[in-house]
Structure 1
Amino acid sequence: MRNRPAGTGRAGYALLSLALMLTILGALTAALAQEAPMVTQPPLVGATRCADVQTLKALAELEEGAFVETLGFYAPGDGGGARYRVEQPTEELQPNDADVLALPNGLVAVLQEREAVNYRMFGAIGDGVNDDGVQMKLAHTYANAHRVPVVNLTGEFWIRETNGIPIRTSVKWGQTRFHIDEEFNSQSVPRFSVQNDEPTVNIELTDEFKAALLQRIRPGVQIIPELAQYAGHLISVSDDNDRIGLRAGYEGNRGWAREELFYVEQEGRIIGDIAFAFDDITAASAIPCNDVYTIIEGGAFYVSGESPATGSTGYHYNGFSIGRSRTIIREQWVGLEKGARDVSLAARSGFYSLRNVFDVTLENIRLMPWEKNRREPEIAVPHGTYGIGGSRMLNCTFRNVTAESGPIAWGVFGTNINKNFRIERCRLNRVDVHFHCWNLYIEDSEIGFAGISVTGGGDLFLDNTTRFGNSFIAFRRDYGSRWDGRVRLRGCTLRPNGTGTVSVLAYNPADFDYQYPIGFGESVTIEDLVVDFSAVPDSVAPCWLL
């Protein structure tokens, strides 16, 4: 008789089979837990339990103060299970079929989640027909009011007509996929609005206070004691009567008010070099910067590529408007629906649009430049159209962002008043600041056919960066090809893609009064530059340093 290990008779095999089944069930449970949008909470002692929201809404015997738990929103296990407390309705607590549910006895069941919420708790369906943006907006409104994050790690949701989804708390989207119908893009309201907690403060300019600011605000200043009371604020000062940076080629353009943007720390210490002195100040504002970082991570966004129903070719929002300082957005993918093409005739202001912010980071993101230069004039987009836009940005960093395309697409970046601008380990088809870049640092990056186009001053430092095109940096002609500061290229490569003239630094101002002094840099340092003609080996065009 063949020897076999002890315990492997019928009883032993039964035990082994049971152990194997438990192991498989344990692994399956662990896998499902990883995919679950919310961590399952232990049952609430004393609470009434019911299958779903419809069952809850039919309970007529519930008394005020009772707690109820549901196993799902539409059906048990659909991810929308939640806890509710029965209360009297008030002016603020009116039924909305989401976080406030009407009961037959005139009371309401009010959502009681204080750790995190997800979209299915508010009735999002994800069937491709429902406008899930409605329920998403309710979820974020609730999260903002109760200062809890939105944690929705899986699922697909369709955002159709809904705009203005407010975000003031951190968000984890994980593997969630969002489909955005661009037919309903708006010129005034973004799809997602990342909002500040506190409103902007208009600073009262008494004669004495204005006189002090006029004396203090000038190049080289590092402390402004009179602004110490605004520690933790982003400060903007401007003189609307002193117009500078008039744009050549745009008849009637009034340029920009002379303006400075900086952040105030303790004792009036400022962050952000002062570039301008002022003869007068007509407005000053203090924008509160949040004390905690808001982190928005994960998710994929599929846009339809259609023209908006507004019929306008002007600028439209199709993604995020970021007006909250100390925000980090990371691990996201942005692109077209499968099989779709960008056929929009309207310009986009940026899937990510940053305005009046300090210390914002975008990292580990794939997005796309939008089509503009279509061959047929009747379908060309009449304005620049952007993947990342913004103005009045200080200490903003873009890290491991990829946005590349061919010659039909417009440049992914389009910004103004962008100070202490950092690009790290990116692959972008263009880096651009129209008016007043101050301190730009690009390292370990690749910049595509649309190039680097800037005006401004401060440090312009590029390290270990490759540019695909016939000029490494083009200083914008429409704003005077101006750079008031140091220019340094170190360990960089220029790869011409055409047989025309090649230039490392391209200055070409127009015969035009820009209403400010223009110059080509306080100093220029170039170290270990390689000009690689391998893409156009037959080129005999000259290569200019300047």
Structure 2
Amino acid sequence: MRYIRYGVNANEGAPQNDAFLVDPTGNIDPTTPIVWNFDTLTSIKAFPLDTRPLTLRGGHFVTIANAAESRYNYYGRGIKISRSNVVITDLYHDIEGEGDHGAPYSGFITVNQCANVTVKDCTLTPHKTYRTTGDNGATITMGSYDLLATQAINIVYINCRQTKDINDNKYWGIFGSNFCKNLTFDNCCLSRFDAHMGVVNATLRNSTLGHMGINAIGFGTFLVENCTVYGRNFINLRSDYGSTWRGEFIIKNSRFIPAGGAAATPVLFGGQNLSNHDFGYTCYMPEVITIDGLLIDDTNHPANYNGPAIFADFNPNWNNNPNQTQYPYHLTGKVVLKNITTQSGKKLRLTDNQHHMFKNVELAYE
């Protein structure tokens, strides 16, 4: 099993699976590499790629919100794309009648087991956040989505907006994804980007991300260029899946307004891995992080503020020899820093970790 979740939403994981593109002669597209080793195969499904484009244009849709008990009983009310080579454009989706409770939604526009899909010039609506009781008896918030992609490849969202304030935390983050490859946001203004159970390669350009920010685990290259991020961290490496990214991050010409402008100590890469849980895979931090052009708006900061940090305190109990643990966590090797500016004038720090967790990280100032 892979993606064995940790924390209040702990579960037993998901069966190992992968999705990739193959040309007519059987060659795997190098932009969709197979990321897992398969000792045995239980099933293989082949989906032909439609050569003729299909365009869905226009439409004003209204969801009358359900008033069911707030449990993980996802409602599917919308448009599901399972055909490749599709464009959805000029669609408007609204929600009416949300009360103080309700069951979550799995997405109004869902993209599933297909490739080469573009969603552009669309306006969506985030769902109100409801709470339920988890398996451990704790009260937890439930994810509820208007945009969802699963086992999908080359999915592009262009010029998409939402009807609610992207920093209104009464509403859940609008976008979620699982097992995808090559996800792109371009000129979008949405409350969240989330690669839940892994993505291979992601690109965010010319976009604004709201209160739930950028959340990811996965593989390959993650590019953030000309974006504004209002999340608590510039990047949140999801701790419930081991804060793992096997590859590199590139941040260019972007702006970070932590916690939507509330008093906060900015952290560029948030996450946690205590090396005490089997996630179903070995966990890695990005091998190389390159930041070329970043403005950190730390105008509103707490007392005794020492400046923004590159890394959160990923493991307060770090023992300086991760290979001795049953579940090692491989750290970043190099961070390249260029054109970093803070509104406070304070310098960018490495971390608040007190156990020299990141002492071997090479910092290259250019």
TM class, shorter-length: 0.7 to 0.9
Q: Measure, in 2, the Cα distance between the counterparts of 1:409 and 1:489.
A: 27
Task: Check if 1:350 corresponds to 2:112.
Answer: no
Q: How does 1:351-366 map to 2 (within 5 A)?
A: 351-366=108-123
Q: Measure, in 2, the Cα distance between the counterparts of 1:336 and 1:416.
A: 24
Task: Check if 1:262 corresponds to 2:262.
Answer: no
Q: How does 1:29-68 map to 2 (within 5 A)?
A: none
Task: Check if 1:523 corresponds to 2:288.
Answer: yes
Aligned equivalent of 1:253: 11
Secondary structure in structure 1 of the residue aligned to 2:44 = strand
Relative to structure 1, the CA distance from residue 269 to residue 362 in structure 2 (aligned partners, 3 Å threshold; closer, same or farther) is: same
Which deviations, in whole Å up to 9, do the C-alpha atoms of 1:244-299 show, x marking residues without a partner? 22111268722122222111113223221222222222221111222211110011
Aligned equivalent of 2:66: 306
Deviation, 1:342, is 5.3
Q: How does 1:121-200 map to 2 (within 5 A)?
A: none
Q: Measure, in 1, the Cα distance between the counterparts of 2:283 and 2:56.
A: 40
Q: How does 1:311-330 map to 2 (within 5 A)?
A: 314-330=73-89
8 A Cα contact 1:245 1:256, kept in partner: yes
Return the structure number with greater helix share.
1
Q: Measure, in 1, the Cα distance between the counterparts of 2:246 and 2:57.
A: 37
Q: Measure, in 1, the Cα distance between the counterparts of 2:88 and 2:99.
A: 24
Deviation, 1:390, is 2.9
- Which of 55, 67, 70 aligns to 1:295? It is 55
Task: Check if 1:461 corresponds to 2:223.
Answer: yes
**Residue type matched to 1:305 in 2?**
A
- Which of 387, 390, 400 aligns to 2:159? It is 400
Secondary structure in structure 2 of the residue aligned to 1:478 = helix
Deviation, 1:343, is 5.0
Relative to structure 1, the CA distance from residue 435 to residue 311 in structure 2 (aligned partners, 3 Å threshold; closer, same or farther) is: closer
**Residue type matched to 2:23 in 1?**
E
Relative to structure 1, the CA distance from residue 508 to residue 289 in structure 2 (aligned partners, 3 Å threshold; closer, same or farther) is: same
Which deviations, in whole Å up to 9, do the C-alpha atoms of 1:174-221 show, x marking residues without a partner? xxxxxxxxxxxxxxxxxxxxxxxxxxxxxxxxxxxxxxxxxxxxxxxx
Q: Measure, in 1, the Cα distance between the counterparts of 2:180 and 2:186.
A: 16
Secondary structure in structure 1 of the residue aligned to 2:185 = strand
Q: Measure, in 1, the Cα distance between the counterparts of 2:196 and 2:301.
A: 33
- Which of 438, 441, 449 aligns to 2:211? It is 449
Q: Measure, in 1, the Cα distance between the counterparts of 2:72 and 2:241.
A: 25
Which deviations, in whole Å up to 9, do the C-alpha atoms of 1:293-325 show, x marking residues without a partner? 1110011112222325x9965100121111111
- Which of 491, 495, 498 aligns to 2:257? It is 495
Task: Check if 1:277 corresponds to 2:53.
Answer: no
Q: Measure, in 2, the Cα distance between the counterparts of 1:537 and 1:248.
A: 31
- Which of 197, 202, 205 aligns to 1:435? It is 197
Relative to structure 1, the CA distance from residue 342 to residue 370 in structure 2 (aligned partners, 3 Å threshold; closer, same or farther) is: farther
Deviation, 1:418, is 1.2
Secondary structure in structure 2 of the residue aligned to 1:263 = coil
8 A Cα contact 1:373 1:407, kept in partner: no
- Which of 412, 415, 423 aligns to 2:185? It is 423
Task: Check if 1:476 corresponds to 2:234.
Answer: no
Max radius of gyration: which structure? 1
Q: CA RMSD in A?
A: 2.3
Q: Measure, in 2, the Cα distance between the counterparts of 1:431 and 1:251.
A: 19
Which deviations, in whole Å up to 9, do the C-alpha atoms of 1:24-83 show, x marking residues without a partner? xxxxxxxxxxxxxxxxxxxxxxxxxxxxxxxxxxxxxxxxxxxxxxxxxxxxxxxxxxxx
Relative to structure 1, the CA distance from residue 374 to residue 316 in structure 2 (aligned partners, 3 Å threshold; closer, same or farther) is: closer
Secondary structure in structure 1 of the residue aligned to 2:17 = strand
Q: Measure, in 2, the Cα distance between the counterparts of 1:336 and 1:256.
A: 31
Q: Measure, in 1, the Cα distance between the counterparts of 2:250 and 2:34.
A: 21
**Residue type matched to 1:258 in 2?**
Q
Aligned equivalent of 1:8: none
Q: Measure, in 2, the Cα distance between the counterparts of 1:537 and 1:508.
A: 23
Relative to structure 1, the CA distance from residue 441 to residue 422 in structure 2 (aligned partners, 3 Å threshold; closer, same or farther) is: same
**Residue type matched to 1:246 in 2?**
I
Secondary structure in structure 2 of the residue aligned to 1:486 = strand
Return the structure number with greater strand share.
2
8 A Cα contact 2:58 2:91, kept in partner: yes
Secondary structure in structure 1 of the residue aligned to 2:183 = strand
Relative to structure 1, the CA distance from residue 341 to residue 281 in structure 2 (aligned partners, 3 Å threshold; closer, same or farther) is: closer
8 A Cα contact 1:440 1:459, kept in partner: yes
Q: Measure, in 1, the Cα distance between the counterparts of 2:53 and 2:246.
A: 33
Q: Measure, in 2, the Cα distance between the counterparts of 1:424 and 1:393.
A: 18
Q: Measure, in 2, the Cα distance between the counterparts of 1:302 and 1:270.
A: 41
**Residue type matched to 1:369 in 2?**
P
8 A Cα contact 2:201 2:222, kept in partner: yes
**Unmatched segments (≥5 aa) in structure 1:** 1-242
Aligned equivalent of 1:222: none
Q: Measure, in 1, the Cα distance between the counterparts of 2:265 and 2:10.
A: 33
8 A Cα contact 1:442 1:462, kept in partner: yes
Q: Measure, in 2, the Cα distance between the counterparts of 1:347 and 1:382.
A: 10
8 A Cα contact 1:372 1:381, kept in partner: no
Secondary structure in structure 1 of the residue aligned to 2:76 = coil
TM-score (norm 2): 0.75
Aligned equivalent of 2:172: 410
Q: Measure, in 1, the Cα distance between the counterparts of 2:10 and 2:240.
A: 14
Which deviations, in whole Å up to 9, do the C-alpha atoms of 1:502-524 show, x marking residues without a partner? 11111312431112111111211
Relative to structure 1, the CA distance from residue 301 to residue 259 in structure 2 (aligned partners, 3 Å threshold; closer, same or farther) is: same
8 A Cα contact 1:470 1:494, kept in partner: no
Deviation, 1:349, is 0.3
**Residue type matched to 2:273 in 1?**
P
Relative to structure 1, the CA distance from residue 278 to residue 250 in structure 2 (aligned partners, 3 Å threshold; closer, same or farther) is: farther
Deviation, 1:399, is 0.6
